[in-house]
Amino acid sequence: MNPILSIKNLQAHFHTRRGVVKAVNGISYDLFPGETLAVVGESGSGKSVSQLSYLRLLASPPLKIPGGQVFYRDKDLLKLSDAELRKIRGDKITMIFQEPMTSLNPYLTVGAQLIEPLVIHRKKAKSEAWQAATAALERVGISNASNAMKAYPHEFSGGMRQRVMIAMALTTEPEVLIADEPTTALDVTVQAQILDLLKSIQKENKMALLLITHDLGVVANIAHKVVVMYAGRVFEKGSVDDIFYRSEHPYTQALLKSTPRVDRDDKILPAISGNTPDLIQIGSGCPFYERCSYRTDLCQAEFPQVRLGLKGHERYCHVEKVSS
Amino acid sequence: MNSQIPSVLKVRDLKVHYALRKSLFAWGSTPTLKAVQGVSLDLAPGEVLGLVGESGCGKSSLGRALMRLQEPSGGTIEILGKDFLSMRGKELRLFRRNIQMVFQDPYASLNPRMTVSETLAEPLKAHFRLSYAESQTRIVKLLDQVGLSKGSLKKYPHEFSGGQRQRIAIARALILEPKILVADEPVSSLDVSVQAQILNLLKEIQKSLGLSMIFISHNLAVVKYISDRISVMYLGGIVETADRKSLYEKPLHPYTQALVSAVPIADPKIERERKRIVLTGELPSAENPPQGCAFHTRCPWVVPQCLQEKPELLKTPSSTHPVACFEAGKSH
């Protein structure tokens, strides 16, 4: 099977007065149809920027993409004109964001915003689009959808607004849905509802879901495959079980151990010492070098080549064997 | 909790109401938002009490009321056996050193124009007559305790990362050697890898100083890690209080059960097999809370009594710990 989205050696840098912020430093991964891929990392890992950069949702300048390719089917998205990209973005590839409070237009009714993708991308008549959008709202679990279409965003709670956002991203039946921290701003009981909704929609539509998150619990709940990022680099890729039970990267392991869990009775949390590195001063070595308990001189000098494990489990680490 | 030991903090029927702005043409009384509706709690010396709940449950309002950053609308607060709410003026100002707070956002809670040394010296100046050398000795000693070097003294907040700033905020709260620390979401704005450092620091300091702490958070895993006992809040009231183990293993209140079951666990095998209790409906407005039990609009066990009467937070013969539910402990 061919990937629906393939990121190859993508770089994204911000040119600021302080210097060049190297937010993404050559990352590669594939997204296949019908799978949920979680990109997990802490703030500053580049997990969001990498998506926003090739979708041209960031101001350029300061953003520059000095290298890489991003294939949607056989098209390199980085080589398309703005007009060509616009035909794909919002139609074949759609996105939902973290803040359902700020990603809807407060001046327009929910309906007016929901029909836009269909009117623009599918050239549907407004009445026809209205019907389709009402159906989409019903599908995401909004009761009384025809009234909801006429309401304004402020009339909805956070969870409901996120449902509206999801409905909006689904009206064109995209092949790829990118969800950037879709439940981070929501309460846990609402988060559980939204995760269930995303899971059932992903299954039903057989679309590819790329989920950006920092929450390992969410990853365990929803993902089939996982990409672990840190300071603009991919550290490890694999199936969700590879990452949670057979991780061979010191950072992934440390991250899993330092996360408090409701089902555990930790006496002391094994914390990762130090702080995330400054992305301006980042060199050619492994960015986790200073915080890593396995570090060698080689780690400081160069970023490791990929080490292949079983069934597509990949890690980027110089260390031969990492005990778990 | 052992009832022989007098509690350092004793709260009875505390209420926090916010007056909302009345429409120009509205009749009748000013509408109020009832953020905290009659909360009672006790904190033992050296104990960590976690307050957990979702947004709008009143946990932060309760925390601020304990500090008198927001004047309570009713009820009593007793700190170290003294009536805190009747204190005024100088007495209040001096007494406040006993209860200190750490806030959520270390980017907003530190004065950007003050160096670390100035930030930490200010409370000392207000409360003690110390020579410069004496106060510096205290500050350096405390900085070391929170894991910051002497070199930080002359630096400004913007020179530090989020985690380091939270260390400064913790040092500021501890410099007056309080008996009680109120921490309101102290790790929520931090990354996972830094969060563990700060949690460990708080736990270590709490133990070594024998501090009593109120730890407010929406994160059930974090609360479990740090607390001895945990109170779950819903719509301005405590619905259940239990020691950390029982709360997660044997939650009695239907809301606690739903809450605990909704938290995703970072273990795919467990996640695949877990059954979730899904709550229907939305959180009612605190401006116009439901009659009777606040949870009855979403409760799977609702009986007619719940619509009429408000259940009290009580330990019943059928329950192992205090719970505010008529139906708790019965089979459902």
Predicted confidence (pLDDT) per residue in B73-86, tens digit: 999 999 999 999 99
Question: Could you read off the pLDDT of A224-266 as tens digits, one per residue?
Answer: 999 999 999 999 999 999 999 999 999 999 999 999 999 988 8
Question: Could you read off the pLDDT of B100-122 as tens digits, one per residue?
Answer: 999 988 889 999 999 999 999 99
Quick one: closest CA in A to B260, which residue?
A262
- Cα–Cα distance between B86 and A309 in angstroms, integer? 68
Residue A101 has pLDDT above 80, yes or no: no
| Alpha carbon distances (Å) from B139 to A221, A224, B102, B152, B223 | 45, 50, 17, 11, 29
Hey, is the C-beta of A115 within 8 angstroms of any chain B C-beta? no
Question: Between A and B, how many residue pairs show a Cβ–Cβ distance under 8 A?
Answer: 126
Question: Could you read off the pLDDT of B279-328 as tens digits, one per residue?
Answer: 887 788 888 889 999 999 999 999 999 999 999 999 877 778 999 999 98
Which tokens go with A178?
Answer: 């990118």
Quick one: closest CA in A to B160, which residue?
A275
For B161-270, where are the E strands, in sequence order?
180-184, 212-217, 229-234, 237-243
Residue B1 has pLDDT above 60, yes or no: no
Hey, is the C-beta of B161 within 8 angstroms of any chain A C-beta? yes
Which tokens go with A219?
Answer: 């990853």
Hey, is the C-beta of B264 within 8 angstroms of any chain A C-beta? yes
Domains and CATH numbers, chain A: 5-92+174-261+269-316 (3.40.50.300)
Taking contacts as CB-CB distances below 8 angstroms, the residues of chain A near B224 are: 260, 262
In this complex, the residue of B200, B220, B245 whose CB is nearest that of residue A268 is B200
What is the average per-residue pLDDT within A261-286?
89
- Farthest-apart Cα atoms in chain B, separation: 68
Compute the mean pLDDT over every residue in chain B, rounded to the nearest whole number. 92
Residue B4 has pLDDT above 70, yes or no: no
Burial class (CB within 10 angstroms; exposed 0-12, middle 13-18, buried 19+) of A71: middle
**φ and ψ at B227, to 5 degrees?**
-95, 155
pLDDT at A158: 82
Name, in order, each residue with C-beta under 8 angstroms of A294's C-beta and a sequence gap of 6 or more. A250, A317, A319, A322
Quick one: closest CA in B to A217, which residue?
B266
- Cα–Cα distance between B200 and B216 in angstroms, integer? 16
Residues paired with A15 in a beta bridge: A20
pLDDT at B2: 47
Q: Give the confidence band of A324 by pLDDT, cuts at 50, 70, 90.
A: low
Question: Could you read off the pLDDT of A9-68 as tens digits, one per residue?
Answer: 999 999 999 899 999 999 999 999 999 999 999 988 999 999 999 999 998 889 999 999
Cβ-defined contact of B191 to A269 (cutoff 8 Å) = no
pTM for the whole thing? 0.90
Closest by Cα among A219, A216, A255, A215 to A235? A255
Which tokens go with A135?
Answer: 């159906």
In this complex, the residue of B196, B220, B271 whose CB is nearest that of residue A258 is B196
pLDDT at B23: 67
pLDDT at A112: 94
User: What does the DSSP 8-state code read for residue A212?
Assistant: E
How many CB atoms within 10 Å of residue B174?
A: 20
Taking contacts as CB-CB distances below 8 angstroms, the residues of chain A near B193 are: 42, 254-255, 258, 271-272, 276, 291
Residue A323 has pLDDT above 80, yes or no: no
Q: Give the confidence band of A273 by pLDDT, cuts at 50, 70, 90.
A: confident
Q: End-to-end CA distance of chain A: give it in Å, rounded.
A: 33
* Residue whose tokens read 């609402």: A190
Taking contacts as CB-CB distances below 8 angstroms, the residues of chain B near A218 are: 264
Cβ-defined contact of A157 to B195 (cutoff 8 Å) = no
Give the CB-side neighbour count of residue A242, counting CA atoms within 13 A.
20
Name, in order, each residue with C-beta under 8 angstroms of B308's C-beta and a sequence gap of 6 or more. B291, B292
**φ and ψ at B233, to 5 degrees?**
-110, 145
In this complex, the residue of A159, A160, A275 whose CB is nearest that of residue B163 is A275
CA distance A49 to chain B (A): 17
